[in-house]
Structure 1
C-alpha cells in the first residue's frame, strides 16, 4: 500500500474510537468528594441535573445546577427528589419530560419498591417522570405503568426524540447479567420492552445513552476488552436497522477505574461519563499535616465517582455522523 494512504487509513481507524482529553465538570461544585453521576442537561445546556450520593450509594438524591455568568451555581435538591432513593435523571430531547428511577411506592398505599439478588434485599427501582408545567416548574412525579416496570431493577433511562425509552434492567431474558431494553412509543403509550441486541447476552450491559435520532448508542459494560470494572462502548445503527458490533472508546474516556453512566450533552459530540478515577499518589509523598491530608482526601479526586466531559465528535464523523 502507498505509505501516505496507509498513514491516512491508520489515522481514520484511530479516529473511529478515540475521544479527546477528560475535563472534570465543575470541580468542587458539581464534582465533589461525594459520588456524582448521571448528568443530563436542559435543551439550551444551561441547566444540569445529576445524582449525588454517599460512597455506598445507599442515599441517592437528584440535584440541579444552573449556568450563571460562566459558572455553575451551588446545586440544590430538585422539587421532586429528596425523600426517596431517587437516581439517574434523563431529560428528554425537547426538555418537556425528565425521567428518573426511584424506590418510592408506585401507587398510594403501596410499599416502597424492593429488589433482591443472590438472597440480598435492597431498594428496587421503577421508572418515573415529571413533566414541565406552563410556569416552567416540574409537575408531580408520574409512575410509568405497564410492562416496562415489571420487576424492580429498572435503571438509567435515556429518551429518543420520538419518545422511545431505552433503559437497563435485570429481567427474565437478561441471563445472569443486566441488559439494555427499549420501550417504543406508540399511539397508546409505551409498548412492552424489547431487549436491544448488542451481541452475546453473557456480557453485562448497563446505562444506555441513546442518540436522539437513534443512530448510535453508548453504554457501560465489558465486551471482553475493558480496562477496568466497566468501560464505555459505542454501537452504530447499520443500514439494515440492526446494531453494529460495540466499539471500545479509546483516548481518555476509559481507564483502569470504573466508567459508567454515559450521557450526551447538547452540543455535537459532547459526552459526559461518570468515573472514579483519582489522583495518583507517589511515595514517598510530600509529608502531609492534618489539614493537607483532610483537604486531599475530601477533594473530587479522592476515588469518588465524578462527572467528566469528553468530545467524541471525531468518532461520530468517522462513522458519517456530522451533527
Structure 2
C-alpha cells in the first residue's frame, strides 16, 4: 500500500516455457466490479479467504487515503455489504494477505503497540482457530518491523516473507526486503536483491503460487521477475495492457497463477476499481 504520486525458492521448474506460451496467448484486462463491493470510493488490495471464499479488501477515499480493511461474503450472485473484520483496530489498516491454509492473515496497521502510538505502518498478523474465530492480532517483531514504514507482506512458498520498506540500507528509496523466521523463533531480514531493487521506489512484491516468478510494483508500474534458483532475475515491465496510467496497485494471483487481480484509478466518478488480467486462456476467476 502506498500513496499515489508520493510513492511511499523453490526449485526451478519449467515455468519459463509456460510463461513464453502465455505471452503468445491472448491477454486481456477486464473490470471486475461486483455489486456490493464496487462503490464510488477506492477499492483495492483484494484477498480471498481460502476457507470460505470471503473477500477481504481495502476501501479508501477517492484520493486513496484513510485505508481500512473490509470483508464481504457471497450471497448468491452478489457480495454482502462489506463490514470491518473482527480484528480491525483504530488507525490505518491495509494490504491483507492469507496464508494458503487460511489459518493466518498478514496485513499492515498503524494501531498502537503496548500503549504506544505507532508513527508509521507496521506488519501485523492474526491467527484463526479451528472454530473459525480470529484471535488477537500481534505486531511482528524487529527486525521485520523497523522505525520506518513497512508495506504489502506476502509469504512465498519457500517461507520467505516479502515486503516493502523505506528502511536504511537499501538500493534507493523504498526497497523490497524479505524475512524468515528460524527454528528458534528469531527473524532474519535481508534485501531482496538488485534484480528487484533500484535507486527508485519498489514497494509491493507478490510471489506466484508456485514461487517461480514475482510481480513487482515499482515507480507506478507492474514488473515481472523470475526465480533463477539463486536470485531474482532483472525485472521486466509488463504491458502495455496492464500498465495504463501509473495507478495500478495491489495485485493478487488466482490460485492457478494464470490470472491477476489488481486495482486501478479509473477516474471520476468511480475512482479506484478492480481489474482482472487474464494472461492467456479464459479462467473463471475471480468468483
In the superposition, the TM-score normalised over structure 2's length comes to 0.82
Partner residue of 2:279?
312
Deviation of the 1:36 alpha carbon: 1.3
Deviates more, 1:254-263 or 1:24-33: 24-33
Q: Deviations over 1:211-260 (max 9, x none)?
A: 243211111114xxxxxxx1111101014x21112122225211024112
Aligned partners of 2:175 and 2:197 also within 8 Å:
no
Task: Say if 2:261 is the partner of 1:262.
Answer: no
Return the offset for 1:90: 0.8
Cα 1:312–1:74 shift into 2, 3 Å: same
1:93 paired residue number: 100
Matched residue, 2:217: 220
- Map of 1:292 onto structure 2: none
Moved over 6 A (4+): none
* Kept in 2: contact 1:113–1:152 (CA 8 A): no
Q: CA 1:212/1:13 → structure 2, altered by over 3 Å: closer, same or farther?
A: closer
Which 5+ residue runs of structure 2 have no aligned equivalent? 1-18, 282-287
| Cα distance between partner residues in 1 of 2:248 and 2:131 | 37
Matched residue SS, 2:144: helix
- Deviation for aligned residue 1:38: 0.8
Question: Higher Cα Rg: structure 1 or 2?
Answer: 1
Aligned positions of 1:172-211 closer than 5 A = 172-189=168-185, 191-197=187-193, 198-199=195-196, 201-211=198-208
Aligned to 1:149, the other structure's residue is in SS state coil
Partner of 1:51: 58
Q: Distance in 1 between matches of 2:173 and 2:263?
A: 20
Selected match of 1:151 from 147, 163, 167: 147
Unaligned 5+ residue runs, structure 1? Answer: 1-11, 115-123, 223-229, 279-296, 315-323
Could you tell me the TM-score, scaled by structure 1's length?
0.74
